[in-house]
């Protein structure tokens, strides 16, 4: 049973709200401590044994999330506190995964806005807060990391207020409740100078200030699918919040698709979220977040409703993609050695499956055979998909990232990003020069007491490709960069290409140390002795701005006159090893990144030297 606040007004009936339930989303910029806060709430909820919560970042269960230290997928949990069930939705903080945030906010009634007590509101803070306000969510604020020696909680609180004013919040929202916290230490307080022993002030603030979900128990059942889970035993599981009415096991329902079609279905199994998982239930009512099994091919945005009252809800609106890449099969001479899925049929099926749950992704057939144009919200968004595919056993080749342009009023427009950089004061000039060369315009610059300078730029999205690596190299790794989509603006001029050419192999075989010893005088190498190489593979970066075809498998010929003992010692510099993101940023228009479960290689699209020359002549003709 659940409790209901009932207000009777015959002329203007006020919706009833449940008092035993709260649905909240935790939103913040990347690395501000969302998942760590959830850890503290779980540990102090009194519902788990110590052995159940041994690890940090408990909800980051995905291998990629743990390796990279970021949240990629939104996740649901539920805890009970003082007789109230609190459904908590942990959302990603990186701008490239904004699609995850936009769809799950539909399930919440309020939001915990988490802000770092030193960094303050960042680009993604603005983005997620604006989306929460658009959905009508009531925010409560947690100023996190007050245990930092350089924290400035009161100043950050003022910045949060200013941000809400900029976003057009009403007077009620501007009077937001707040607490200070250290999620890592596991406490929250109303006075940043006083340390407490509990995180419970956060939960008290949620129960006192975030309203329970609206209840219309007499209306027919209606729910929007906001998340799709997959089970090997039951197939797709539709997750969403019940908008009105109630649903039980065995109920007949209608699934309303995007094109207006309607499919009949039945609820085979009904589950509610409980602690870190889900538990079976017989009935669920308005406001509950449920998982339904047995529906016919549900998709995100579909409405599940009573078959006699097929009223569709407004589908989830997600911002458009800004970046696209060509995905094609691996056609190199080394194809098929490591992967299990190597054909275009495998590639197509995997991309179509990803579309079911990744609402910000777009996939189109490319002009050439066996290729697909995949569009996403940013380089990280697409590289995470590629990394997941290679770990699943796929082999593929990926082209250079391209921004998506739009024609507005007869003029071409391209996406611009708001770039914020914190750099040491002595290298600000170098960073401004690099960003300026990529058509970036400085909009704001401010100094800090820590010796770091904060600079905000407006820059074309294509100017960001490859910029992070260069800025980190110029600042010896001390720069902190964040960016978010700003708007579409008139296309700028050309952006500088890669300043150096590459070394291209002209032979197939194993790389030989003697050959690299002679080549490293004029290049930085990407390969080591013993690595496989083939004709057309990129094995290093040339010291000049042109490509050079070389033979990396050449061995030293020995004779009776020349003995190996009289040779000089071969000393090789360590090769430059690239991550997937670095490789995608590095390549040019005529190159691919070859991705297999075991390797990441760079190669020319046209492998033979004669073929590349013919292609160059045809372009100039």
pLDDT tens across 585-611, in order?
899 989 999 999 999 999 999 999 888
Q: Which of 586, 439, 427, 418 is nearest to 487 (CA)?
A: 418
CA nearest to 72, candidates 375, 358, 391: 358
Architecture of the domain defined by 16-213: 3-Layer(aba) Sandwich (3.40)
| Angle of CA points 82, 84, 88, to nearest 5° | 115
What pLDDT sits at residue 554?
86
Q: Could you give the residue range(s) of every CATH 3.30.70.240 domain in the chain?
A: 408-490
Q: In the structure encoding, which two tokens stand for residue 223, read together?
A: 């729910």
Between CA 601 and CA 338 the distance in angstroms is 13
Instruction: DSSP letter for 183, please.
Output: T
Percent of the chain, pLDDT > 90?
Answer: 21
Q: Which three-class secondary structure state does DSSP give residue 198?
A: coil
96 backbone φψ class: left, alpha, beta (φ>0; ψ -120 to 50): alpha
Residue 32 annotated as lining a ligand binding site = yes
- pLDDT at position 481 is 85
Residue 551, helix vs strand vs coil: coil
Backbone angles phi, psi at 340, to 5 degrees: -95, -25
Average pLDDT of the chain to the nearest whole number: 84
Count of Cβ atoms closer than 10 Å to residue 59 Cβ: 20
Q: 536-562 pLDDT, tens per residue?
A: 999 999 988 889 999 998 887 766 565
Structure tokens of 193?
């100078």
Q: Backbone phi, then psi, for 273, in 5-degree steps?
A: -80, 135
Cβ atoms within 10 Å of 497's Cβ, excluding its own? 10
Question: Residue 564: what pLDDT?
Answer: 52
35-64, pLDDT tens digit by residue?
888 888 888 776 665 555 555 555 555 666
Residues of the chain with CATH 3.40.50.300: 16-213
Question: In the CATH scheme, what architecture does the domain 408-490 have?
Answer: 2-Layer Sandwich (3.30)
Residues 20-48 as b/e (b if ≥16 CB within 10 A, e otherwise) read: ebbbbbbbbbbbbbbbbbbbbbbbbbebe
Would strands 411-424 and 406-408 be described as parallel, antiparallel, or unpaired? Answer: antiparallel
Which CATH superfamily is 216-305 part of? Answer: Translation factors (2.40.30.10)
Contact 329, 397 (CB under 8 A): yes
Distance from C-alpha of 386 to C-alpha of 347, rounded to nearest angstrom? 11
pLDDT of 118:
84
Lowest mean pLDDT among 50-59, 165-174, 322-331, 474-483: 50-59
Q: 33: annotated binding-site residue?
A: yes
Q: What topology does CATH give the domain 502-556+570-619?
A: OB fold (Dihydrolipoamide Acetyltransferase, E2P) (2.40.50)
What pLDDT, on the 0 to 100 scale, is given for residue 568? 63
**218 or 509, greater pLDDT:** 509
> How long, in residues, is the chain?
621
| Residue 52 pLDDT | 52
From 49-53, 360-364, 379-383, the region with the lowest mean pLDDT: 49-53
Higher-confidence residue of 217 and 154: namely 154
**Beta bridge partners of residue 326, listed in sequence order:** 373
DSSP string, 302-313: -EEE-TT---PP
pLDDT band at 493; cut points 50, 70, 90: confident
Distance CA 245, CA 445 (A): 53
Q: What is the pLDDT of residue 332?
A: 92
Give the C-alpha separation, 303 to 257, whole Å.
7
> What is the DSSP code (8-state) at residue 341?
B
Question: In whole angstroms, what is the distance from residue 472 CA to residue 373 CA?
Answer: 30
The per-residue DSSP string of 584-619 comes to: HHH--TTEEEEE-SS-EEEEESS-SHHHHHHHHHHH
Whole-number Å distance between alpha carbons of 530 and 513: 8
- How high is the pLDDT of residue 57? 53
Q: How far apart are CA 503 and CA 14, in angstroms?
A: 72
C-alpha 556 chain-centroid distance: 49
Q: Does the annotation flag 191 for ligand binding?
A: no
Whether 144 has a binding-site annotation, put simply, is yes
Q: Where in the chain is the domain with CATH 2.40.50.250?
A: 502-556+570-619
Q: Is the dihedral of CA 96, 102, 107, 108 positive or negative?
A: positive
Phi, psi of 111, rounded to the nearest 5 degrees: -140, 140
> Which positions ≥6 away from 483 have C-beta within 8 Å?
95, 123, 417, 418, 419, 420, 459, 464
Long-range contacts of residues 69-73, Cβ cutoff 8 Å, at least 24 apart: 69/31, 70/30, 70/31, 70/94, 71/34, 71/35, 71/97, 72/97, 72/100, 72/384, 73/100
461/484 Cα distance (integer angstroms):
9
Structure tokens, 378: 């940013």
- State pLDDT tens for residues 120-164: 888 778 888 888 888 888 899 999 988 888 888 888 999 899 989
Residue 374 has pLDDT above 90, yes or no: yes
Tokens 């209608």 locate to 254
Q: What is the pLDDT of residue 49?
A: 55
What angle is formed at CA 427 by the lines to CA 424 and CA 433, rounded to 5 degrees?
A: 135
Task: With cut-offs at 50, 70 and 90, classify the pLDDT of residue 447.
Answer: confident
Alpha-carbon distance 458 to 351, whole Å?
33
Q: Band the pLDDT of 237: cuts 50, 70, 90.
A: confident
Whether pTM exceeds 0.85:
no
What mean pLDDT do residues 206-225 have?
87
Structure token digits, residue 253: 């329902």
448 labeled part of a ligand binding site: no
Residue range(s) occupied by CATH 2.40.30.10 in the chain: 216-305
Largest Cα separation within the chain, whole Å, is: 109
pLDDT, tens only, 262-308: 899 899 989 898 877 788 889 998 888 899 988 888 888 889 998 88
User: Is 145 flagged in the annotation as binding?
Assistant: yes
Task: Give the tokens for residue 30.
Answer: 């990347």
Is residue 200 predicted with pLDDT exceeding 60? yes
**Start-to-end CA span in the chain (Å):** 78
Phi-psi group of 419: left, alpha or beta (phi > 0 → left; psi -120 to 50 → alpha; rest → beta): beta
b vs e for 112-134, b when ≥16 Cβ sit within 10 Å of the residue's Cβ?
A: bbbbbbbbbbbbbbbbbbebbbe
| 79 marked as binding residue | no
């Amino acid at each position: 049973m659940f409790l209901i606040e009932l207000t009777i007004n015959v002329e203007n009936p006020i919706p009833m709200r449940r008092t035993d339930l709260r649905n909240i989303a935790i939103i913040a910029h990347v690395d501000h401590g969302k998942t760590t806060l959830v850890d503290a709430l779980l540990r102090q909820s009194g519902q788990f044994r110590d052995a159940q919560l041994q690890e940090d970042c408990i909800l980051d269960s995905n291998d990629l999330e743990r390796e990279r230290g970021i949240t990629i997928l939104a996740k649901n949990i539920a805890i009970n506190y003082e007789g109230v069930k609190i459904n908590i939705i942990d959302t990603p903080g990186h701008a490239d995964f904004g699609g995850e945030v936009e769809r799950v906010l539909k399930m919440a009634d309020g939001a915990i806005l988490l802000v770092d007590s030193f960094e303050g509101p960042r680009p993604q803070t603005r983005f997620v807060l604006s989306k929460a306000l658009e959905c009508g969510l009531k925010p409560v604020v947690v100023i996190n990391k007050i245990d930092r020696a350089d924290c400035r909680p009161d100043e950050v609180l003022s910045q949060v207020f200013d941000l809400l004013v900029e976003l057009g919040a009403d007077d009620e929202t501007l009077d937001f409740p707040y607490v200070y916290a250290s999620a890592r230490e596991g406490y929250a307080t109303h006075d940043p100078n006083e340390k407490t022993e509990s995180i419970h002030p956060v939960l008290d603030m949620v129960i006192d200030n975030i309203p329970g979900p609206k209840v219309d128990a007499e209306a027919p059942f209606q729910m929007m699918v906001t998340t799709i889970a997959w089970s090997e035993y039951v197939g797709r599981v539709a997750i969403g919040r019940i908008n009105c009415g109630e649903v039980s096991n065995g109920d007949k329902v209608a699934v309303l698709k995007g094109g207006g079609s309607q499919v009949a279905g039945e609820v085979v199994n009904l589950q509610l979220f409980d602690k870190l998982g889900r538990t079976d239930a017989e009935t669920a009512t308005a406001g509950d977040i449920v998982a339904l099994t047995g529906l016919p091919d549900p998709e995100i945005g579909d409405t599940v409703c009573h078959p006699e009252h097929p009223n569709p809800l407004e589908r989830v609106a997600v911002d458009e993609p800004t970046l696209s890449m060509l995905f094609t099969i691996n056609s190199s001479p080394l194809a098929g050695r490591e992967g299990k899925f190597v054909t275009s049929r495998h590639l197509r099926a995997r991309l179509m499956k990803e579309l079911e749950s990744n609402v910000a992704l777009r996939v189109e057939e490319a002009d050439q055979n066996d290729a697909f144009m995949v569009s996403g919200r940013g380089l990280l968004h697409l590289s995470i998909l590629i990394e997941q595919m290679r770990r699943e056993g796929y082999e593929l080749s990926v082209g250079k990232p391209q921004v998506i342009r739009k024609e507005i009023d007869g003029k071409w427009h391209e996406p611009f990003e708001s770039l914020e950089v914190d750099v040491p004061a002595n290298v600000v000039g170098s960073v401004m020069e690099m960003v300026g060369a990529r058509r970036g315009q400085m909009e704001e610059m401010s100094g800090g007491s820590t010796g770091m300078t904060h600079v905000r730029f407006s820059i074309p999205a294509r100017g960001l490709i490859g910029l992070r690596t260069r800025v980190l190299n110029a600042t010896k790794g001390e720069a902190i960069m964040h960016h978010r989509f700003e708007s579409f603006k008139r296309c700028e001029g050309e952006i500088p290409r890669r300043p150096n050419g590459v070394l291209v192999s002209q032979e197939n075989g194993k790389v030989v140390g003697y050959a690299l010893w002679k080549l490293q005088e004029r290049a930085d190498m990407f390969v080591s002795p013993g690595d496989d190489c083939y004709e057309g593979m990129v094995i290093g970066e040339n010291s000049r701005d042109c490509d050079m075809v070389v033979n990396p498998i050449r061995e030293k010929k020995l004779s009776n006159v020349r003995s190996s003992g009289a040779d000089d010692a071969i000393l090789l510099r360590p090769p430059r090893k690239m991550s997937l993101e670095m490789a995608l940023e590095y390549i040019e228009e005529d190159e691919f990144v070859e991705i297999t479960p075991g390797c990441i290689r760079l190669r020319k699209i046209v492998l033979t030297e004669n073929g590349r020359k013919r292609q160059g002549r045809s372009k100039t003709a």
